[in-house]
Amino acid sequence: MVRPPQSPSDADIAKVSHWDSVWKGSRAVPRVSPISYHHYRWRKLFAGTVGRGSRVVELGCGGSRWVPYLARTFDCESWGIDYSQEGLRLTEQACRAEGMQCRLVFGDVFDESLLPDSYFDFVYSMGFIEHFRDPSQVTRRIARLLRPRGRVLTTLPNLTGIYGKLQQRADPEVFAKHVILAPQQLDEAHEAACLMPLERAHFFGCFGPGVVSYAALERQAWGLGRMILPAVQVLQQTACWGLRALHADFESDRFSPYIAGIYEKVDDPEPC
């Protein structure tokens, strides 16, 4: 693990202190679950996008199960970068638990000395871009990391509908650390960096109250607090797999927990 000095971007509204508090004391990251509906959906998304043996990097990889998953499943040269030492510790444990040699970098994504330019075939993030006031700042950084025709998967929580309102009530401080982005805005941010949509940003997943942080409620509920998230997860899995069995797991702006888009770096940036 490379450990340079930290220098988080001023545009970051979450800050490293928040993420260290989120990950501190957390146990080992569970592996990708074969019974999780949303893990099933993510696996399908990766399978259609990631090339075997490719060079991949996750931006904001703290507490990630996907860095070792891509290394193992697609024989990738799998990287991750995060400025939270606590979060990176968990990802390192996850890689070690799966016997994967992954390249984890400790530091700010915007520090250009930490990751090689025009190197990666695939750059992905799963809840990163929405923590920056100017999302195009993130997409321009991604474009520098990608080789020509390299691909990007960007996902973020859908806070435009019911989950935004729920997050605002459950934990206003966490809600305030997000920039609310709609699918069109996500596309525009990527296009501004000459990253052209292969699959335009869309609502992803049918039902997912587990996307909301309940940390504040868990602290307020004393002994019952530990039951909130497991109960939500049981509800989520039961509903999603039930809808899947009925072929009714439709995406919607109101109930889908995520927004996801896939993009490609153009060979010649001149037209854009």
Domain with residue 35: its CATH number is 3.40.50.150
Note whether residue 244 is domain-resident.
no
Note whether residue 9 is domain-resident.
no
**Per-residue CA distances from 55 to 13, 51, 107, 172 (Å):** 29, 9, 19, 38
CB environment 70-82: b (16+ within 10 A), e (fewer):
bbbbbebbbbbbb
Per-residue pLDDT tens listing for the chain (272 residues): 544 444 445 689 999 999 999 998 788 899 999 999 999 999 999 999 999 999 999 999 999 999 999 999 999 999 999 999 999 999 999 999 999 999 999 999 999 999 999 999 999 999 999 999 999 999 999 999 999 999 999 999 999 999 999 999 999 999 999 999 999 999 999 999 999 999 999 999 999 999 999 888 777 755 555 678 889 999 999 999 999 999 999 999 999 999 999 999 998 756 66
Note whether residue 49 is domain-resident.
yes
Domain count across the chain: 1
pLDDT at site 2: 46
Q: What are phi and psi of 263, to 5 degrees?
A: -135, 165
pLDDT at site 109: 97
pLDDT at site 270: 64
Note whether residue 96 is domain-resident.
yes
Note whether residue 217 is domain-resident.
no
pLDDT at site 224: 55
Question: To which H or E segment does residue 125 belong?
Answer: strand 120-126
Could you tell me the sign of the dihedral formed by the alpha carbons of 63, 110, 178, 171, in that order? positive
Note whether residue 54 is domain-resident.
yes
Note whether residue 215 is domain-resident.
no
Q: In the structure encoding, which two tokens stand for residue 44, read together?
A: 């399908």
Q: In the structure encoding, which two tokens stand for residue 208, read together?
A: 């997912």
Note whether residue 270 is domain-resident.
no
pLDDT at site 4: 43
d(CA 270, CA 272): 6
Its domain, for residue 185, covers 16-164+172-206+257-265
